[in-house]
Structures are given as structure tokens and as C-alpha cells.
Amino acid sequence: MRAMGGAALVAAMMTACAAGSASAGRDPVIEALLARLHAIAAPVVESARIVPGGKIPGLTNTTPYTLRMPGGNAGYPAFWVRDAAMMLGADFIGAEEVEGWIRLIASVQAGPEAIRLANGLTVPPWSIPDHITLQGSPCWYPGAYDGPNQGDGTFGFLPPADDAYELVRMAREQLRLSGSTAFLKGDIEVRGGRSGVWEMLDRAFAGVEAGPDGLVVCSAEEGRTRVDWGFCDTVRKTGSCLMPSLLRWRAANEMSEIARALGRRADAARYRAVAAQVKRAVPAVFLRDMGEGRAILLSATGKGKRDDVWASAFAVWLGILPAKQGDAVARGLLHLYRQGGTVLEGQVRALPPDGPFGGFWDQTVAAPGTYQNGAFWGTPTGWMMPAVYRADREAGRRMLREFVESIEAHRAKGAPWECFNPEKGHYQNPLYCATVALTASAIRHAIR
């Protein structure tokens, strides 16, 4: 097949996205529920917007860019890279704003030398920060804000492993939304000077350690530990880690798409090879047979070797697994949904509540039943519901209905929350964007 030129490739990307959206209409129940969810998500995403000069209590956005905080209540009063990326895909946000995000991130990306911080923390070359203050200062670690003290290693001695891949996600969406390669072909301000946008992205991708099999590695060595991805930032994992490896696979494919659009054929082939390597390794390393034709993926090969419901659902959503294995994991997730305890009101626990690889994480600062250690989250609903639907359409419809109805019923109390657990009286961060924005986008693009 003849390779497409840049303009043709961008047009194909836009057509594919539109086709994914339209295909959801084949199931009128899903389409109606998604319309209700979109109506909730749009004002929530808007409530998190902060324009240049915009104020929240005690803070002003002094950057020249319009930013989105993770939630409309300013519970996280900064710009989080991954959270912003998770708002994309449903076209709540335009290309110009996304371009501003990329410019801001590039301006604070680490340079060619490692940054040494207090308490033994090290920022490797070309790293992307966890979040950026409204004054434009990089914060490399979860829990850190402006200033020289970026933590004590509780949340890793290296920055989280996922943000570089979320930056690539932004670049791919900017290309799709704008329909133009002009920005990605240009230069951008970086720490200490200027760089091509492609080169900046390429360095960011390479700045995260991966093993010889292409999987992302989180070291167990003291002083070298890191969070595998931000939605597990209270959890210690070691060895090859599933979720950042899935993000690496998606980002490699997106880098290949961007390279093709820019006419960089050798780079496109290089990133296709990375994606192929990760795709081979994921089922070989992480797949666990649950019996009776069901399977699930483990979260890590060392500490944190647990049944990872969120990442398993994401893997099915991505389509990284061979068809038979993807079907087996979908059946495994359906089984957990039917069994009860993993999903509550359409929202999803990180681990099954019991079983030999379930319960709670091996090492975490979150109390059992709270936050990332047993509370229920809406963000992974966007991946879990399509997996359940793949195995049983009626169960998938029921899960989405439960999710939408729960949020509608609790809007006055702050829903959508980041996470909740009624048994513990635990309701975290109201008006949380990813809970509804990612879910609306992910389901619309998954249901065929």
C-alpha cells in the first residue's frame, strides 16, 4: 500500500475518529446514555478552565496559556499533564488550547543533564513534569508544589513514568483537531533555547526507562524508585509495569502517525518497531489465566504483582492483545463485574476485592478502602464498560446506565467525583473532569 502524505494522513485520522463516533449510534441505548453523559461532562470540563490572568482562591494563572485543572473545584490547583490529556478525544477542547499546553510543557521539560534535588531526588534528562503550577513552575513529583522541596521519595525518587506518553497524546490530538502539520513542523521554546517540536517529543519519549523487551521498568533500587503512572501514585510497584507499558505502546503508535504526517519515514518505521516489540511482550509477561476461558493482566512483575482491573480494561480498549486473549480478558472483567465488589454504581476499583491477586496493594500510603487502594473511580469506566460490553452487550449497557444514573443522582453533592467509597464515607474531589470526559470519549470511540 502506498504511504499517505501528511495532509492525506491527517484527513484519514479525522475520518477514523468521526467514524468511531458515528458507530456508537448503532446501539441506540448506548447512544442515548452517551448523550446524557456528554451533557454532564461539557460543563464539568468548562468549570476547570482557567484563562491567562484567571484566579482561583490564592492563585492566579500567570502563564500566557489557557489551562485546565483536574477538577472544577480547584482541589488540585495546578495543570496536571495526564489529567489534561484525559480530557481530550471528545472535542470539548480546541487545537489552539492544546497547542498552548504543549508549549508550556516544552518550556519546562528537563534538559540534557539530570536535575539533582533535595532528599536524593533525581530528574533524568528530558523528563516531563508531573504537573505545572499556575505560575509556570514544574513540579516533578506527586504532592509537590512550587519551591525547591519536591518530596522525600515517598512518591518516587524519579518522576512518574507516564507523563511523556501523555504529552505525545496531546501532540497527536493537536494534529487531529487542527488538521494541519504546521505546529508540529515548527520550533518551540524549551529550557535554554529552542527546539523542533518533533525533536522535543522524541527526546521526551526516550527519557523513560524501558527494558530490552520494550516494557517500562520501575526500579526496586533505593533512590531509583518511581511511580508507574499517576493514578497509582500512592502505590509502590517494581519490575516491568503494565500501565506505563500500555501507554508507551499507544504513544509509539502515535509518534509513528505524527512522523508519517511530517514525512519522517525512518522515524515512523522506528516507532512502529517499538510498538511491535511492546505488543509482543505485554501478553507474554502480564497475562494470567483465571480458568474457564477467562484471563486478566497483572500490574507488575515485582512489588504490586496484582490483578490490575484498570490496566486490563485499558489493554482491551487499546486492542493491543491478540483477539483470543482480548476476548478472555473481556470475559474475566465481565466475571468480576457480575461477581460484585469490583464495580459500584458503574465505577471501578483498581483491584478485585478478593482472590489470590486481589484485595489491596502490597505497599501504599492510601488506607484500605480509600483513594487508589479500594475506592471506586469513574475514569477507568471508559475502558471497563467497553470490555464488559464486548463480552456481554446487555451487561455493558447496564454498567453504563448505572454510571450515568449515579452521577445524575449525586450532582448536587459534587458528582462526578475523582473516586468514592460510601462504606468509608470517602468522596474525593468533586467536579472531576477525567471521570466524565475520558469516559465519554473512550466509550464513544470503542463501541462499534
Label residue 22 by pLDDT band (50, 70, 90): very low
Ramachandran angles phi, psi of 383, nearest 5°: -100, -40
Closest CA to 204 of 93, 85, 321, 332: 85
**Sequence-separated (6 or more) residues with CB below 8 Å from residue 32:** none
Terminal C-alpha separation, the chain: 25
CA–CA separation, 163 and 159 (whole Å): 9
* Domain parsing of the chain, residue ranges: 22-446
User: Is-above-0.85 flag for pTM?
Assistant: yes
Q: What is the pLDDT of residue 448?
A: 61
Label residue 53 by pLDDT band (50, 70, 90): very high
Q: What is the pLDDT of residue 148?
A: 77
Closest CA to 335 of 280, 383, 406, 388: 388
Residues 348-357 pLDDT 10s: 999 999 999 9
DSSP conformational letter for 207: T
Long-range contacts: 46-54, Cβ < 8 Å, 24+?
46/72, 46/92, 47/71, 47/72, 47/431, 48/72, 48/87, 48/431, 48/433, 50/134
Residues 75-89 pLDDT 10s: 999 999 999 999 999
Label residue 6 by pLDDT band (50, 70, 90): low
Mean pLDDT, the chain, integer: 94
DSSP conformational letter for 24: G
CATH architecture entry for 22-446: Alpha/alpha barrel (1.50)
- Strand pairing class (343-344; 347-348): antiparallel
Report, as an integer, the average pLDDT of 173-188: 98
Of all residues in the chain, the percent with pLDDT exceeding 70 is 94
Q: What is the pLDDT of residue 9?
A: 55
**Sequence-separated (6 or more) residues with CB below 8 Å from residue 62:** 52, 53, 134, 135, 136
Closest CA to 380 of 438, 330, 315, 426: 438
Residues 275-310 pLDDT 10s: 999 999 999 999 999 999 999 999 999 999 999 999
Environment class of residue 192 by beta-carbon count within 10 Å: exposed (0-12), middle (13-18) or buried (19+)?
A: exposed
Label residue 196 by pLDDT band (50, 70, 90): very high
CA–CA separation, 364 and 117 (whole Å): 23
Cβ–Cβ < 8 Å for 93, 51: no
Cis peptide leading into residue 52 (ω within 30°): no
Closest CA to 45 of 103, 94, 4, 118: 94
Label residue 10 by pLDDT band (50, 70, 90): low
Residues 269-280 pLDDT 10s: 999 999 999 999
Of all residues in the chain, the percent with pLDDT exceeding 90 is 92
Burial readout 80-91 (b: 16 or more C-beta within 10 A, e: otherwise): bbbbbbbbbbbe
Report, as an integer, the average pLDDT of 316-338: 98
